[in-house]
Chain A
Amino acid sequence: MTKKTTNASLPIFIVVIAIVLVISTVLIISVYTGLSEQEQENIDLTSALNQAKETKNNYEESIPELIQEKKQLNDNINSSNEQLTNASIVSEEEKTVYENLVKKLEENQSVLEQLKSGDKYNLHDPLYDEAINFLDDDNSKNIQTCILNAKNMGIRCAFVILGLNTSMYTVVGFNTLDAGMIYFEFDTDWCLYPEIGKSYADCFPEEYNVIAVNDPIQEIQVIW
């Protein structure tokens, strides 16, 4: 038997090898590409998962805090509601006190007005301020009108004669409830403090700067 040796040419061999290599390489590259994509996806997924875990952790940390804050808020609300209720009660109580006081003041003012009111048949001795206010408002041209006006308002007012050695002055007087007897010039509304032995001018406070005449007061005549 003749042993036959089969030979092929080198170029054919190279071509075949090349084809095999190309096919293998293509397949390997194809698989490798898929692998790379999977790897990338794995990285992305891992990253996303970590992020999701982190998010979950954040939620898990934040939610109890929020619940705690909410609880704290509820506690504050309860406490504030209690404060509000108390404040409302106090406010209402104070308002009631105020309203009662207003009512009491109105009643007393009414009594006071009654006591202050009067006419020429119902007279009262005034307070110092009442006398001052009357004189401030009164613009009488003569003393009798001034006295009449006072009495028409229920204010007891005296015609006062200050007798000097050679003459006399007439002023008005009020026996005030709070400051005793006070005297005024009806036309100037100046207050004076007459005393036996003093000159008329010396009876005025210094700031009025009245020039003194050496004619002392001999008597003070108060005619109601």
Chain B
Amino acid sequence: MKQDKISKKTMIIMIVIIIFFSTIVFYVLLNKTNDYNDKNKTLSEMLSAFEEENNVLSSYFSNLESEKTELQEYLNQIENNINEDNSEIIETRNNINQINTTLDTVISEIQLREDGTKYELHDPTYSEVKSFIKSDKTNHNEIIEGVYVCRHFSQDVNNNAEKKGIRCAYVKIQFTSSYEHACVGFQTSDEGMVYYEPMYDWQVNMEKGKNYFSECIICPPGYYFEPDSRYVIDDYILLW
């Protein structure tokens, strides 16, 4: 039964040893914990400082981003305006080219027309007609059968009248026979329509159904035409 007994002293020594080692372990762990505590505190402070700094940087970054976006938008707007202006310039230049071409055409047409002759005509007075007919020498031309006949006389008188600014009609007469004839006419401002036989410079009282030579031509005293049924006026047209 001696084995069941242990001296108090031994017991205390053992307890002391256990407590000693436990205490050492406890303190080592506690120191370590305190170390970590200190470190963590430092880290926390650093982290806070970093976070605060990062917040400032983040805000600055955001502002810069925002400013950059605004600048980019502004730049885009300017570039759009430039493109619009350039498009307008191209369009305007195309229009200028077109208008220049048109202008050249118009100017050359003006030049052509200004260089061309102007024909200012007027309806003459009766006395003007008489005076013109008297001054015109077409009736002095020789009648050449088949070559220079009534229509040639009428043509020449008509064209000479135009040269003098007198409006004159070429009158084409259709007789009831197959024959045709030509004379000239004037729309006088005082006596109305007057006709002249250009081969003789004699006035004509044109009337359908009457014999042109024997009834319509007003012959001067001493002159006359024998009536000829081939020369009855069926119709006549005025070519102004």
A residues neighboring B (CB under 8 Å): 5-10, 13, 16-17, 20-21, 24-25, 27-28, 31-32, 34-35, 38-39, 41-42, 45-46, 48-49, 52-53, 55-56, 59-60, 62-63, 66-67, 69-70, 73-74, 76-77, 80-81, 83-84, 87-88, 90-91, 94-95, 97-98, 101-102, 104-105, 108-109, 111-112, 115-116, 120-125, 127, 142-144, 147-148, 151, 156, 159, 161, 177-178, 221-224
Contacts and interface: CB of A to CB of B under 8 A. Distances in A.
B177 interface: no
A53 B240 contact: no
B29 A52 contact: no
Nearest to A53: B50
Interface of B: 3-9, 11, 14-15, 18-19, 21-22, 25-26, 29-30, 32-33, 36-37, 39-40, 43-44, 46-47, 50-51, 53-54, 57-58, 60-61, 64-65, 67-68, 71-72, 74-75, 78-79, 81-82, 85-86, 88-89, 92-93, 95-96, 99-100, 102-103, 106-107, 109-110, 112-123, 151-152, 154-155, 158-159, 162, 167, 170, 237-240
A24 B23 CA distance: 8
Contact of B64 (A41, A49, A67, A108): A67
B5 A7 contact: yes
Nearest to B3: A10
A128 to B, nearest CB: 11
Contact of B26 (A7, A28, A41, A178): A28
Classify the secondary structure of A's interface with B: helix
Contacts of B30: 31
A101 B100 contact: yes
Contacts of A16: 11, 15
Given A5-B7, A151-B240, A221-B155, A112 B92 contact: no
A73 B79 CA distance: 12
A98 B118 contact: no
Contacts, number: 239
A90 B26 CA distance: 89
A46 B44 CA distance: 9
Contacts of A35: 29, 32-33, 36
A69 B19 CA distance: 69
10 contacts: A55-B54, A63-B60, A66-B65, A73-B71, A88-B85, A91-B92, A121-B123, A124-B117, A177-B115, A178-B112
A175 to B, nearest CB: 9
Classify the secondary structure of B's interface with A: helix
Nearest to A115: B113
Given A9-B4, A32-B29, A123-B121, A224 B159 contact: yes
B29 A223 contact: no
Contacts of A94: 89, 92-93, 96
Contacts of A109: 106
Contacts of A105: 99, 102-103, 106
A55 B57 CA distance: 9
B46 A98 contact: no
A76 B79 CA distance: 10
A111 B110 CA distance: 7
B162 A95 contact: no
A84 B5 contact: no
Nearest to B112: A177
Contacts of A28: 22, 25-26, 29
A108 to B, nearest CB: 5
Given A49-B46, A108-B107, A112-B106, A77 B6 contact: no
A101 B116 CA distance: 26
A184 to B, nearest CB: 15
Given A9-B4, A63-B61, A77 B78 contact: yes
Contacts of B68: 66, 69-70, 73
A115 B58 CA distance: 79
A25 B18 CA distance: 10
